[in-house]
Amino acid sequence: MSHPRLSKLELQIMERLWTAGASSVREIQEAFPERRRPAYTTVQTMVYRLEAKGVVRRTRKIGNAHVFEALVSRGAAERRLIDELLALVGGSGRTVVAHLVEAGNVTDEDLRAARRILQQSTKKEERS
Amino acid sequence: MSHPRLSKLELQIMERLWTAGASSVREIQEAFPERRRPAYTTVQTMVYRLEAKGVVRRTRKIGNAHVFEALVSRGAAERRLIDELLALVGGSGRTVVAHLVEAGNVTDEDLRAARRILQQSTKKEERS
DNA sequence: ACGCTAAAACTACACGTGTAGTAGTAATAC
DNA sequence: GTATTACTACTACACGTGTAGTTTTAGCGT
């Protein structure tokens, strides 16, 4: 089974764990840009929920503070999000790419890189 | 301002309005595949909410049933979804395309088509 | 004109998410 | 060793979404 759905705020919390590694609630909270920084207990609640969902875990303590680490990778979470998007738009990746192009969210180089990756995996499949 | 966020079920309802045109609640409900067909009043509630959000409107009546039509296009709704996804993954369209490729959700032809579109719009920009 | 049927309009509720307060406890500072 | 501080654990609540029941009304058939 794939890990559960992650909400926006949950993802922002995971973000800190992915980029900076295992962190305390305080560290996660302070990683938010000052302007939109949730209250300490808000972050704490979300971390607890992530723990309940099994996507983070307590690793050790520093002082009396718990340190949490991510149990799912950024890649896996991203894949999840994209799968959900695909389900919503009817499964067509083409549509998504077209929109990205129109909105200027991908460069030509991005597309060229994508084609290279595709060619690679196609080749691998043929060999097997 | 862009139209409001549309949830999964709301999108499924819009889907019917986009593909079949203006429809009654009953027609929308019956467009759901039998297995996962919500109760009539469930669909009705969602349609009312879509109306409150200003994304559908009553056009006429057939018998005593209202007929609703979409006020936002599928394209606009898709763009909205993709923008949200981009915000969640940190704004990088490249990541999204890479995932789509890895998961086999786009063909080489899709990517080639995307590059053609990109080339076109780049050219247009230069002209202006 | 009247009853039947289907739809409209309204109400209710559970779950997820974002938000944060409060009560209790443990490390720390002196 | 006691006071302060900072963190944990728990509780609460509002809003959006999915779900559907109940009550009221309007068109339709005879």
Single-letter amino acid, residue A70: A
pLDDT tens string B25-83: 999 999 999 999 999 999 999 999 999 999 999 999 999 999 999 999 999 999 999 99
Q: In percent, how much of chain B has pLDDT > 90? A: 88
Closest by Cα among A98, A89, A84 to B78: A89
Q: What are the residues of chain B with a beta carbon less than 8 Å away from any beta carbon of chain A?
A: 8, 11, 15, 75, 78-79, 81-83, 85-86, 88-103, 105-108, 110-115, 117-119, 121-122
> What is the chain A residue with the closest CA to B114?
A98
Which residues from chain B sit within 8 angstroms of residue A78, using beta carbons? 89, 95-96, 99
pLDDT reported for residue A1: 65
3-state secondary structure of A89: coil
- Residue B128 pLDDT exceeds 80: no
Q: Whole-angstrom Cα distance, residue A46 to residue A10?
A: 6
Backbone angles phi, psi at B56, to 5 degrees: -135, 165
> Mind telling me how many Å the CA of B84 is from chain A's nearest CA?
10
pLDDT digits (tens, 9 = 90+) for B81-96: 999 999 999 988 999 9
Residues 6+ apart with CB under 8 A from B9: B38, B46
Continuous segment of H or E residues that includes residue B111: helix B108-127
Cβ neighbours for A22, distance < 8 A, ≥ 6 positions apart = A59, A60, A67, A68, A69, A70
* A77 band by pLDDT with thresholds 50, 70 and 90: very high
User: pTM for this one?
Assistant: 0.92
